[in-house]
A and B are shown apart, each in its own frame.
Chain A
Amino acid sequence: MSQKYPLRASDVAYRLVDGEAILVSAGQGTIYTLNSVGAMVWNLADGTASVNQIAEEIGRNFPVEPEPARADALEFLESLQGKGILELFDQPQGPKPVEGIGR
């Protein structure tokens, strides 16, 4: 099965708080809140980690089996792609400056 590499959209600012992630897309005028698992997935979506690698990290931190973790992560990432705040690539992408961290 081909690997996918998720990359956060550069125009979405975000911060982690209380184990959650708050995302702001000014262009869409939308605020998204991700739970702790979603926040981990989002934080790892820098274009260099594959969906498999992200699922492995979820498995190390949450009580979930590998295959469901992978399937859930991919479904979640595809939903974020559908919202226009993330892209899934067939090849690793170099990390790009992202709004939010450190501001």
Chain B
Amino acid sequence: MRAGPRMVDVLRIGIAGICCELALRNGDASFRAQLLSRYEGFLTEEEPDLRIEAEAVRGLNREARPSTNGERTVSIFEEGGRYRMVRTDNPFRAEVDTEAGEGRLIAERSVYCFDSFLRILYSVLLARAEGGLFHGLGLNQAGSGRLLLGKSGSGKTTLGRLAGARDGTVLSDELVAVRSLEGSLTIYATPFWGEFAAGKNSADVPLTDVYLLRQDPRNFLRPVKSSSAVREILSCTLFFGPPSLTGSVLGLCFRLAASVSALHFRPTDEVFALIRKGESCVAEVSA
């Protein structure tokens, strides 16, 4: 992290091959240290795709508007490649011009609020690049990428702990990035992890299998009807808009559904052998 003559601290973060530079205009040493620690492993010296002037302010939380269950707290408006993003519960306001490669952010002085902005920003940037962010566990098993999709309570964090303790490399245990490059899908680590803090390094691997998690007393794989798979994958997608990018995200979900199986599992080591075997067979049941 560099400090220039105008006391602007610059932080470059690279996720899924997309680099964003945050220039903190009024950050303090303590907050800078928090951000450095938070995104360690994803800091980069690459030339940024987007430069954002960021202000960390106090008091936005006092303006935060409470919302009822189900009420939308994130809004994204678009006009010709320029995006305006507003979040009311973990408050921030941002304007990003992807054509010019610049933007501006005002967020509560909180790593949590900055992190929320980055998640939403990357959900947009990835959608523009035929990609997306998904709630799930990303694994690298000897060069084969496994994407295990599930929302909170699905067991992905438990599986991530098991995988990290064995030979599997955990890319992320909360949000995994997926991109289509030259017709092939790749999964990427992100700094948006859950409880399992390992896998904090930027890494990627070609995607070979997609699983929908089902907690079960037994370990087995089962095929999933395409329409059901797409719906479930969509429900695991982090995407708030804008409408112009919905088609791209929907298309990616359809591509993932073409490689999906339901993984019925109990959290033991045997489940990883089943994933590695990579067969979708109803009769394949292990106690």
Q: A25-67 vs B: 1/0 string, CB under 8 Å?
A: 1110101010000000000000000000000000000000000
B227 beta carbon closer than 8 Å to chain A: yes
Whether B246 and A11, one on each chain, are in contact in the complex, defined by CB atoms closer than 8 angstroms, is: yes
| Given A14-B250, A103-B247: A26 in contact with B240 (beta carbons within 8 A) | yes
Segment among B25-33, B47-55, B92-100, B228-236 that sits at the interface with chain A: B228-236
How many pairs, one residue from A and one from B, have CB atoms within 8 Å of each other in the complex?
Answer: 65
B153 beta carbon closer than 8 Å to chain A: no
Contact size class for A?
Answer: 20 to 34
**Cα distance A29–B240 when bound, in Å?**
7
Whether A24 and B225, one on each chain, are in contact in the complex, defined by CB atoms closer than 8 angstroms, is: no
Contact of A22 among B72, B240, B250 (CB under 8 A): B250
A20 beta carbon closer than 8 Å to chain B: yes
Whether B242 and A26, one on each chain, are in contact in the complex, defined by CB atoms closer than 8 angstroms, is: yes
Note all chain B residues with C-beta closer than 8 A to A12.
243, 246
**Cα distance A10–B239 when bound, in Å?**
18
**Cα distance A33–B226 when bound, in Å?**
12
A80 beta carbon closer than 8 Å to chain B: no
B286 beta carbon closer than 8 Å to chain A: no
**Cα distance A13–B225 when bound, in Å?**
20
| Given A17-B254, A29-B240, A103-B251: A22 in contact with B230 (beta carbons within 8 A) | yes
Whether A24 and B246, one on each chain, are in contact in the complex, defined by CB atoms closer than 8 angstroms, is: yes
B249 beta carbon closer than 8 Å to chain A: yes
Closest to B127 in A: A26
Contact of B227 among A20, A26, A29 (CB under 8 A): A20
B244 beta carbon closer than 8 Å to chain A: yes
A99 beta carbon closer than 8 Å to chain B: yes
Whether A26 and B248, one on each chain, are in contact in the complex, defined by CB atoms closer than 8 angstroms, is: no
Whether B240 and A99, one on each chain, are in contact in the complex, defined by CB atoms closer than 8 angstroms, is: no
**Cα distance A31–B227 when bound, in Å?**
12
Whether A18 and B254, one on each chain, are in contact in the complex, defined by CB atoms closer than 8 angstroms, is: no
B241 beta carbon closer than 8 Å to chain A: yes
Whether A22 and B231, one on each chain, are in contact in the complex, defined by CB atoms closer than 8 angstroms, is: yes
Whether A31 and B234, one on each chain, are in contact in the complex, defined by CB atoms closer than 8 angstroms, is: yes
B18 beta carbon closer than 8 Å to chain A: no
B118 beta carbon closer than 8 Å to chain A: no
**Cα distance A103–B249 when bound, in Å?**
9
**Cα distance A97–B230 when bound, in Å?**
23
Whether B250 and A17, one on each chain, are in contact in the complex, defined by CB atoms closer than 8 angstroms, is: no
B274 beta carbon closer than 8 Å to chain A: no
Whether A18 and B227, one on each chain, are in contact in the complex, defined by CB atoms closer than 8 angstroms, is: yes
Q: B217-229 vs A: 1/0 string, CB under 8 Å?
A: 0000000011100
Contact of A26 among B230, B231, B235, B246 (CB under 8 A): B246
**Cα distance A17–B71 when bound, in Å?**
30
- In the assembled complex, the CB of B166 is this many whole angstroms from the nearest CB of chain A, namely 35
Note all chain A residues with C-beta closer than 8 A to B245.
26
**Cα distance A11–B246 when bound, in Å?**
8
**Cα distance A100–B250 when bound, in Å?**
7
10 contacts between A and B (CB under 8 A): A12-B246, A24-B234, A24-B249, A24-B250, A26-B241, A26-B242, A27-B241, A99-B244, A100-B247, A103-B247
Apart from the given pairs A15-B230, A22-B230, 17 other A-B contacts in the complex at a CB distance below 8 Å: A13-B247, A14-B250, A15-B254, A17-B226, A17-B227, A22-B227, A24-B246, A26-B240, A26-B242, A27-B241, A27-B243, A33-B227, A99-B243, A99-B244, A99-B247, A103-B247, A103-B250
